[in-house]
Structures are given as structure tokens and as C-alpha cells.
């Protein structure tokens, strides 16, 4: 089957998606401590790694927001224009993405506006940004990202991309990603957000008091 030329709006969405993936990679790299630490390294102490992970998480949520930005790149609008050409499976995945985004849009927006791409001018706003983590299941963003990985692979079967892809989709990869997304959804539904966030707080070293007040246990000038 001859592929369709990629529309400009889809190309810009794909470009923004690629940047979001890269920020996600950076965040996950620091989250899992896949970095070198020492007096002769950029990360001189484990605390620098921990604080950088905090910041990368806020950046990641900001990039995730930017994929649904009503005043910029907007996944919902761009994908709506593609509907006449999309296979049923891609339409189904799109619906799942939009369904879950509607559930997390408010806290992600608060993070983006107050401690992410934008910084609140007052402490009250900054605390609102950190407190928004309390409303987000840590796996919610992973679920949306995994679904979007499925969606864009399905879209690549229809459209000829304007930018070079890092690698072709491997046989069975899309099905594996969809199974991963289903497992993430099951985990989200089985685990209360508060319990999951408490696990994340322990990993980050946030105190219960700091998490409750919404300052995330962050400090200034850690590097």
C-alpha cells in the first residue's frame, strides 16, 4: 500500500513527541540512577542526582502537557483530522489516550504552570504545583506515553514521515506495547493514587510532611 504524505500538523506533533520521549529518557535515566556520581563528575553527590530527578520529572510533565496544548501542538485536534484515514485500532487507542488525559490534565497543567515550564511568582503558586503530584498516579503518565507509542506506530503504517525515524518498528512490537499499556492501566486501577505516591515519595526521599504540604522535599542550590 502506498503511504500518504504526512500532513504538516502531524509532522510538528511527531517532532514534539520525539522531544518528549527524549525528556522521558533523561528522567528515567536519573530515576534509575544510571548516571555516574563522584567528586570528578557533574553529579558530585547522590543528592544532586535526586534533585535533578525532581526537576526532570517536572520537565517531563511539562512536555507531556505540551502535546495537548490548546494554544499550540494539540494531539486531540491533530489526530481528529486524521480520523478518516486511521485504522479502527488507531482510533481505539486515540480514544484511550484522550480518556486518560482528561483524568490527569488538571494536575499536569498545575505542575507545568507553577513549577515546570513556567514558575509561579509566589510561594502559594509553587506549593500548588508540587501539591498537584498528590493527584497523579505515578503510572498515569507511563500509561499515556505507552499508548502514544502504539498510536504513532499505527500512524506510521499510513503516513510517510517527514522526519527520519530512529529505527523501524520491530515485528510484534506494537502488540507488546499495547499489552504493556493494558498492564499499566490494571496497575493504576488496582492501586490508589495516594499509596502509589507514597512509594514514590519514599524513593525520592520526600518526607510525608513535605509531600502533604506540596513542596516535594526540594532544596535550592543543590548543584
% the chain with pLDDT above 70 = 86
**Confidence band (pLDDT; 50, 70, 90) for 200?**
low
In a domain, 16, yes or no: yes
In a domain, 202, yes or no: yes
pLDDT of residue 100: 98
Q: Contact 108/102 with Cβ under 8 angstroms?
A: no
The x, y and z cell numbers of residue 75, run together, are 494531539
Residue 115: DSSP 8-state: B
> 91-117, pLDDT tens digit by residue?
999 999 999 999 999 999 999 999 998
In a domain, 144, yes or no: yes
In a domain, 223, yes or no: no
pLDDT of residue 174: 96
**Confidence band (pLDDT; 50, 70, 90) for 194?**
low
The x, y and z cell numbers of residue 138, run together, are 505515578
**Is residue 205 scored above 80 in pLDDT?**
no
**Confidence band (pLDDT; 50, 70, 90) for 193?**
low
Domain count, the chain: 1
In a domain, 151, yes or no: yes
Beta bridge partners of 173: none
pLDDT of residue 10: 96
Q: Which residues contact 166 (CB under 8 A, 6 or more apart)?
A: none
In a domain, 82, yes or no: yes
**Closest of 93, 105, 28, 37 to residue 67, by C-alpha:** 105
**Is residue 132 scored above 60 in pLDDT?**
yes
Residue 6: DSSP 8-state: P
**Is residue 221 scored above 50 in pLDDT?**
no
Residue 7: DSSP 8-state: P
Element (H, E) at 159: strand 159-160
pLDDT of residue 217: 46
Helix axes 88-114, 75-82, angle to 10 degrees: 160
Beta bridge partners of 5: 160
Range of the domain at 187: 4-208
Amino acid at each position: 500500500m502506498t503511504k500518504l504524505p504526512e500532513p504538516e500538523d502531524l509532522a510538528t506533533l511527531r517532532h514534539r513527541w520525539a522531544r518528549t520521549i527524549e525528556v522521558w529518557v533523561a528522567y528515567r535515566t536519573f530515576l534509575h540512577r544510571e548516571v555516574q556520581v563522584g567528586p570528578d563528575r557533574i553529579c558530585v553527590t547522590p543528592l544532586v542526582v535526586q534533585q535533578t530527578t525532581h526537576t526532570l520529572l517536572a520537565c517531563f510533565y511539562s512536555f507531556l502537557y505540551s502535546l495537548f496544548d490548546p494554544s499550540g501542538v494539540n494531539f486531540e485536534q491533530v489526530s481528529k483530522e486524521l480520523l478518516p484515514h486511521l485504522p479502527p485500532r488507531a482510533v481505539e487507542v486515540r480514544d484511550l489516550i484522550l480518556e486518560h488525559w482528561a483524568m490527569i490534565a488538571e494536575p499536569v497543567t498545575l505542575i507545568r504552570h507553577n513549577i515546570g515550564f513556567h514558575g509561579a511568582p509566589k510561594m502559594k503558586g509553587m506549593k500548588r504545583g508540587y501539591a498537584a503530584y498528590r493527584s497523579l498516579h505515578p503510572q498515569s503518565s507511563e500509561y499515556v506515553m505507552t499508548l502514544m507509542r502504539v498510536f504513532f506506530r499505527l500512524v506510521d503504517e499510513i503516513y510517510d514521515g517527514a522526519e527520519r525515524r530512529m529505527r523501524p518498528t520491530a515485528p510484534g512490537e506494537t502488540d507488546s506495547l499495547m499489552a504493556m499499556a493494558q498492564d499499566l492501566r490494571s496497575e493504576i486501577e488496582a492501586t490508589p493514587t495516594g499509596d502509589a505516591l507514597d512509594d514514590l515519595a519514599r524513593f525520592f526521599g520526600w518526607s510525608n510532611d513535605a509531600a502533604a504540604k506540596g513542596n516535594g522535599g526540594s532544596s535550592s542550590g543543590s548543584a
